[in-house]
Every structure is written in C-alpha cells, then in structure tokens.
Structure 1
Amino acid sequence: MIKIAYIINQLRKTGPVLVLKDIIQNLDRTKFEPMIIRLRKDDSTNSIASIFKQMGVEIIGLNYSFMQLELATRRVSYCVDTILKNRNIDIVHTHGYHPVLVASMLKSGIPTVETAHNISAEDYIYSKGRFLGTYMNIRYLRRLERIKHVAAISQTVQSFYSGKLNKPMIHVIYNGIDTTVFKPVDLKTKRMLRERSKIPLDCKVFLVIGVLNKRKDPKTIIRAYKRLFDCADISAPFLLFLGTGSLMKECRMAASDYPRIQFRGFTQNVGEYLQMADWCICASHSEGFGLNFMESLMSGVPVISSDIATFRELLEFYPVLKRYSFPVGDSVKLAQKINNAIIIDIDMMDICEDVKARFSAVVMAKEYMSLYEEMKI
C-alpha cells in the first residue's frame, strides 16, 4: 500500500481542489491510501471538505494564516514533517504556492511531486498584484527546484516551467473531468432544467463560469453583449455568470439595465447549468488548463474562447471551434463571435466522445497512479 499525503492550502471549490477530488475519487484504493494536509482554515461558504470525508479521506487541518505560511515556513514544514513520519507517508503531492514552500523544506526525504496548475508568472500577478505577485513567482520557482517531480497540466504549462527550472523532465498530465457530472442531456432534461431556472427554451443561453476577476475578464464579455443587444430586447439571449469575485460590483453596475444578463453567484451545480446552456464563453487572459473550457465540451456545449496559448493547445484537438476564438480583451471581435454563434448549431457528439476518452478524470487518475508507482521505485 502506497500512502500519499496531499498538501493543499484550502478545500474551497476551486479548480485545483476539484482536480484533487477527481484524483482521489478515482484512485485504486487497494494500492493507494490518501490523506490531506490542509494548511489554512476553510471558508465554510464554499468548502467541499465534506466530499473528501464522504470518500473516507482523513483531513488534517493546520489552520495557519497567510503570514505564518510566508514568514514561518520552516516551522510549518517541521510540523508537517512530524505528521508525515507518524503516518509513514510514502509520497507527498503538493498543489500550489504555499504547499510547495512547505514541502521544499521537508527533512524526511519523502519523494515529492507538485501539480503545476498555472503559469506562475501570470497567475500570481493577476491574483495578487504586480509587487506581491512578482515576489511570489520568484519564491515559488526557487522552491519548486527542490520538488523532485513536476506534473504540468498542459503542454503550455510544461513549456513555461521547462524554461524556468533545471529539471531533466516535466511530466504532462492533463486535468480530468468528472464524466458523471459533466455530460450531455436530452431535450426533455434540458427543458426541465431551464424551467427550474426560469429560462425559456426558445432562447439562446451563453454561460460564463469562474471567478469574476481581471484574469477571467468578465467586463469584456459584458461589453460585447451590450454591443449586440438593446437592454429592452426580449429576443436577446441570456448571459449567465456563475461565480463571485472582486469585479462583481462593477459587473452588476455595467449590466444593471440588462435583465437578461444575470449573476447567479457561487453555485454547486455547474454541471446542470452547462446542460441547459447553448454556448460557454471563456475570456481568460491566462489559464493553466482551462477546466471550465473542457467541462463545457464534455457537456456537449461549444466554447467561444480568448486566443491564449492554453486554449490554442486544446483547440488543436477540436479545430472546428477555432473560428470562435477572439483576441484577448477585444469586445468588438467577441461580439462578432457571439453573433455568429446565435445562428449556428454545432454537432458536438464526436467532440464529446473524444473529450471523454482523452480528458476524463479516470484517465488523469491512471496517469497519476503510474507516476506514484514510478516515484516509489
């Protein structure tokens, strides 16, 4: 039995945590025994810790603050080392900035692997600002050198870290999608879901999923919509935003006169919203993988996407969608793509089958299990 300790900051519903959930959910539990070390206290409003507990996973919550993890990293690492030794852990799998800092200072010699979920030079600056983000990027890269294995979630991410780290090989393990949640539905189910959400069946629905922040760029999407439709246009499509974030107030103000632009906030049933949607819009300035992009395709929903390296990589698998790519931050070009999407239907059946075969959570977990076995040798 190989015992794995997953170190993560929090268990709130974010992309990395959902990936961790899908890895553990699909582990061969006759060969692998998982546990989680959570460095910070969870926000009770969007924690999914209960899902891990239902899977029988032990969670050790250390409840450190951001500043403690920054300024007392070595002390935190000593505490984590003690936990690992007491539980005879064989492998440490980290997810993110502080977990890497902590794991890089471990003295136990346990093999380590980090899943690189983003392009740190971009993501940290978008999320933390230029000064703190630049500092975090430098520190993350220095400490990542001490982690034995790195698993990049796309070739784009692999390319970035290959140019920054002195490592002979960086693995590519694409994120996987839970096919039990994200899947196409028939018209009857779609009608039922729309009735429940008070959305008529005879209109188009464009869905935007994710945090409302600069990196995801919801304001460009709103500007594009307003270029196409009058606020009183009852034939206009619905534009639904799922998520909250620092730009929520600005976005609500920008869309205040448009009743068909709606903000549904944080929701646990993203899969159901995708099943009622016609299109998804991803306007990101930076992505490591594009989880919402692939969740949409898995659900049979085509995507209008910004022209960034990660999305270009994914579109090589599905070239029919390349025509719906637009320059980052360009609301005029995005409006054109939305207008084209309104009058065009795309047969997604073959794409759904390919996504399932290539990007399912089961496929991802198998690749991680192979890596764990390789690390244990």
Structure 2
Amino acid sequence: MKIVHLLPGLEVGGVETHVVDLASEQARSGHRVTVVSGGGRMVSQLHPDVTHITMAVHRKNPITGAICAVKLAWMARSKGWDVLHAHSRVPAWIAWWTSTISGVPFIVTCHGIYSLNAGLTPYRHADGAICVSKAVMDHQRDWLPTRTAVIKNGIPDPGVRWSPKEGGPFRFLFVGRLTKVKGIDFLISAFLPMANRQDWVLDIAGEGPLEEELREKVASAGLGDRISFLGYRDDVAELLSKSHCCLFPSRSEGAGLVLLTALAVGTPVIASDLPAFRETLDDRSLIPMEASVWTDRLANAIDHPDSPQPTSPPRSIHDMAVEVGEFYVTK
C-alpha cells in the first residue's frame, strides 16, 4: 500500500513521535510510505525506507495551502498513492483539497483536545477519522465523519526497566513541551513550598516558549541547584528508568505518549485528573489541578516512595499499525 502522512513538522512532540513510529513500522511491514512535513530534527529518525518530502504544509495561509495541494495531487496521481493520512488541522485542510483534486481518499487522526471551530471543517469531510482516545472522540464528536474509530497509541519497547539509583535525592521527571497546556508552569509553582527540603530534584526534559520565564522563576526561588532544564532529549526511556517518579500536570491531553512509555518502563507516575489519563490510570495516580494538593502529593511521594503499579502493558507499535492499516481499507 502507498501511504502518505502529512503533519506540520518533525521537530519534537507527541504527534511527531507518533508519526515517526507509525510510518517506520508501516515501512518495516512492506508498505511504501511517504511523510510530508515542514522538516525538523526528527526526520533522521524515520526508517530508511520512508521517503520524506519537505513542504510548507504547516503554514496557515490558504494560498500556500492550495499550492501544496496542487503539487501533492499531481504526485498522488503520478505515483499512485492509495491514502492520505493527516495529523493536524492545517495538513487536514491540505489533505482534503488534495483528495478533492486527485480522488485519493484521506484519513485524519485527532491527537488532542482541539478548539471546536470552523478550523475542523475538513475532519467532517474525511473518509475516516481516528481518535487516539475516547476522550478525544467524545470532545470532537460533532466535527467527525460517520466512520470514526478510537485506535489507542502503541509504543516501541523502551528497552529498559525502572531502576532508580538508591540513595541521594528523590528524582522527579517532567518530559514535554514547555507550554501552559502541558502545565509545567503549574508544576514548578507546586514545588516552591518545598524549597526548604533538600531531599528532591526535578529534571525537566523539553523545550518551549515558557523556558526563559521558567528559568527566571526557578532562579528567583533559589532552586537552580534542584530544578534542572535538560533541553531536548532523545533518551527519554533512559531518563524514566533512573527517575523515582514522572509527573504529568497537563491542563489538556489527548492521550500522552510519554505516559505510555513511563508505564512500559515501570516508572511510578502522578498525573492531573483528565479524561484521557483516566482511560489509562487508576485513581491512585490522578489528582486535581490544585497547587496545594500537588505539593502535598509530591511531598508524600518523597516520604513514601512507590513501587511501580501493576498495569496492562501499552500496546505495541506493530499492533497499532495493523489496526490503522485495517481502518484504511474498511468502508
């Protein structure tokens, strides 16, 4: 099957990781796979048999989008593409226009809790929609086509297991974009009342627009020796294996690939009480977004360290790719 994925870029993030993993698994299974994006550092992580086309499918400009659609429609006809698979809102518009011109069906995956507005119009016109969680499907239901399915994310085997270092401070970990949606600003505020305790550290792996503001906040609180900004990391599973607890203070979430990786590694987690997280975690790991509650829970995690909680292992990338492939051909 000739499959084409469209997404804004391949810098860093959950959607980007999902597409890299899915496209690479499809290529390993014998499909001819192309990824169209604005480019980025994760292009190099695609399987060698995946073709990458750099194109401005991230720009919110109708003229640019139309030009991209015409180019892609020509490629679709000349190369005999079987399906277009869009992974964000702007690429969904371009996939819709490309499909209209070329006749190639297009599928969308809904990865997050999107704002419900006219920007989602292409989703209604898709030949099918995949939602990464029931929470996403319930939220966006009125903007989805008749043929819609929940297909849970799969992840590669992380290759490591939870083995935190004995002795030393309790090590918390946050992995994600440094944005308000991911709640990193809230998390640092929750740590401030614990400034007098010397028995913890927080590692922050990720980049984003809040980084400078957060660094200043940490420095002004005198916590520069305990809260470390690691920047982008491609060894997330290794970081998880060496941490005592991974934190997910998201204000909104579609599914959470890092959460699934943490569970696969066996790392204990604390997460905000969101519908998407409720599909994966039980009440012991979920707490409301109240700073005092988080501070108390963080302190309790230090004083009473958890063992990894028994959970069903996350599904494999192969199983997810098979289900996606079946969705492509089901009418």
Provide the TM-score with structure 1 as the length reference. 0.81
Root mean square deviation, CA, Å = 2.0
**1:83 corresponds to which of 75, 84, 105:** 75
**Judging changes above 3 Å, is the alpha-carbon distance between structure 1 residues 17 and 296 closer, same or farther for their aligned structure 2 residues?**
same
**1:178 corresponds to which of 156, 167, 183:** 156
2:13 maps to what in 1? Answer: 14
CA distance in 2, matches of 1:335, 1:180: 30
CA displacement, residues 64-92 of structure 1 (integer Å, 9 cap, x when unaligned): 67254x44422221111011111110111
By how many angstroms is 1:27 displaced? 2.3
CA distance in 2, matches of 1:239, 1:224: 12
By how many angstroms is 1:212 displaced? 1.0
Which residue identity does 1:76 align to in structure 2?
A: C
Which residue identity does 1:177 align to in structure 2?
A: I
Contact 1:5 1:84 in 2 (8 A): no
1:372 maps to what in 2? Answer: 328
2:44 maps to what in 1? Answer: 50
CA distance in 1, matches of 2:316, 2:75: 32
Contact 1:297 1:355 in 2 (8 A): yes
Structure 1 segment 256-335 matched on structure 2, within 5 A: 256=219, 257-258=222-223, 259-315=225-281, 319=282, 322-328=283-289, 330-335=290-295
2:216 maps to what in 1? Answer: 253
1:155 maps to what in 2? Answer: 134
Contact 1:184 1:275 in 2 (8 A): yes
Question: How many pairs align?
Answer: 326
Provide the TM-score with structure 2 as the length reference. 0.91
What stretches of structure 1 of length at least 5 have no aligned partner? 122-136, 192-199
Contact 1:324 1:337 in 2 (8 A): no
CA displacement, residues 290-331 of structure 1 (integer Å, 9 cap, x when unaligned): 22222211111111111121112222xxx2xx2332222x21
Which residue identity does 1:370 align to in structure 2?
A: E
By how many angstroms is 1:115 displaced? 0.9
Secondary structure of 2:246's partner?
A: strand
CA displacement, residues 86-128 of structure 1 (integer Å, 9 cap, x when unaligned): 111011111111110101112111121111111111xxxxxxx
Contact 1:100 1:140 in 2 (8 A): no
**Judging changes above 3 Å, is the alpha-carbon distance between structure 1 residues 29 and 222 closer, same or farther for their aligned structure 2 residues?**
closer
2:112 maps to what in 1? Answer: 118
CA distance in 2, matches of 1:355, 1:178: 11
CA distance in 2, matches of 1:148, 1:65: 22
- Does residue 343 of structure 1 match 2:299? no
CA distance in 2, matches of 1:371, 1:251: 42
